Structure 1
Amino acid sequence: MDFKGKVVLITGASSGIGAAAAVKFAEFGAKLALIGRNYENLKEIAKKCDDAAGDKDEDSYGTPLLIRADLTDEETTTNIIAEALKRFGQLDVLVNSAGIIENGTIENTTLAQFDRIMDMNVRSVYQLTMLAVPELIKTKGNIVNISSVCGLRAFPNVLAYNMSKSAIDQFTRCVALELAPKGVRCNSVNPGVVVTNLHKSSGMNDEAYEKFLEHCKTTHALGRAGDVEEVANAICFLASDLATFTTGMNMPVDGGRHAMCPR
C-alpha cells in the first residue's frame, strides 16, 4: 500500500483506532491532517507518525497538520476542510473515526443521551463528508467510516450507540452509490471490541473493563478482543489502490463476532 502524494484526513486521531490509522498511513507515506479534541495527544500521535514515516522526503510526507476541534460544533467542522486545503491543496482520503459510546436501554435512556450520540457519531460525519466530497471528486479519492459490529448486530444496553452505527452503515452504502459514477468510493470497517480507551471514557472503571475484556474470549470467535493496529490495517486497505473495486462495503473486523449466535 502506497499513499505517497496522497492527503489523508482522519478524525478522532488523538486516540484509539484513529490514532493507529494515522501512524499506519504515515508508514505508507501519506500526508496527514489529524483532527481531535485533545491537542496534547495529537502532538504525541504526530511524533509517532514522524517515526513511522522514517526517512521519506518532505514532498511525499511532511509534518502532520493538527487541528483541535469539537466535531459537534457546526462552525468548527466547516473550517476543517478549508484548513486542510490551505496546507495541502488537495484531499484524497477521509477517515471518519471520531465517536462516543454510552450505556442505556429503552427503559433508562434519555433524549439527551440520544442527541449526544447521534450528534457525534452521525451528524458530524454527515456534515464533514458533505464538505469533503467536492475535493474527493477532484482527486477520485475515497471515504472510510469507522462503524461497529453494533451496526450489524443487536446488543443490549447500548441502544443509541447501536442505532448510530446502523445509521453509519446505511450512510456508507448510500454515499457509495451516489458517488460511484464520479469515481469516489465509500466503505466502512465494523470492529468488534478493540482495546482502546473508548469504554473507559464512557465511565467503565478498570476492574469492570478487565472483566469485559475477559468476557470477549467467549463473545468473539477468535477468542479475544482486537488490537487497534488490526483495524488500522483494514482501514488502509480499503483506502488504498488495492481496493479499487470495493465500495459500499461494511467490513467486519471483529474476530468473527458478527457471525456468532447464541447456542
Structure 2
Amino acid sequence: MGYLNHQQGYREGLLETRSVVKKEAYAVLTPDGLVNNVVPGFEDCDMSILGSPRMGARFVDYLVTVKNNGGNKEGFGGDGIQTFLYVVYGNVTATVDGQTYELTEGGYIYVPPHLELKFENNNNGEDSRLFLYKKRYQEAKNVSKPEVVTGNVNNIEAKAYEGMEEVLVQDLLPADISFDMNIHILSFKPGASHGYIETHVQEHGAYVLSGRGMYNLDNDWMPVDKGDYIFMGAYALQATYAVGLDEPFAYIYSKDANRDIEL
C-alpha cells in the first residue's frame, strides 16, 4: 500500500513509479510507495525512513505524521547525535533540557549532540507532519559544541542565491563553525534554475515543500514534485530547473559543512 495516499489493494493498470534509487549516488523517493516504519520511542506516529546510511548517506532523514497526542516522549538524539525537526504542517510542542518550544507550520528546532529532543503533537486532534533529521556530530579541535536553535521560516529573510533574484535561499542555522552541518530552504520561481551544475563533496537530503522541477542528478534528469524526497551523494552532479506555472519550486535540505574530511 501507499500509506501516505491511503491506497490499498490492487491498482488499475500496471505497477509504476517515478522513484529511483542509485545507492551512493542519488535517490528520488515519491510519496506513493513509502511504507510505515515502527521505531521505538515514537508513539502514535507514522514514520518513513528516507535517506540513511543504507542508501549511502551519513545522516538519517524521516517523514513523520504525528497523530492524536503522539510524539517522542523518551528522547531522540543525544549521546553524540544531533537532531533537527521542521514542521511541514500542524503544531507540536518540543522539549529540550526542560525548556518547551511551541512550533507551528514552518517552525523548526535544532538540538545539539549533548541534548535529547522530545516532542508531542499539539494540533487539536489533527495530524502534524514533520521532517526529521539526525547526524552524528563531528568534533573539531578548539571548536565548542553548538547550542539549541529555534525559529520559523516565516521570520527569516530570503536572500538572492548567488546573485540570482529568481532563486532565494533561507539559512535556518547560524553561519557558525561550531555547526558541522546546516539546513537551508531553496526556492526557485517557475523557469529559474541553478547557475551551473554543482559538483562537491557535501551531500544533501532534501524534502520538496512546493512546486515541481526537473533535477539533474548525476547527469540523469529526473522529474520531482511536492512531497518527493531527494538524496544527493558526495560528488553527485546536481542542478535543477523549476517548472510549472503557479508556485515556486522549494525544498528544505541539509548540508554537511565546516569540517575537513576524516581519514
Normalised by the length of structure 1, the TM-score is 0.30
Higher relative contact order (CA 8 A, sep 6+): 1
Normalised by the length of structure 2, the TM-score is 0.30
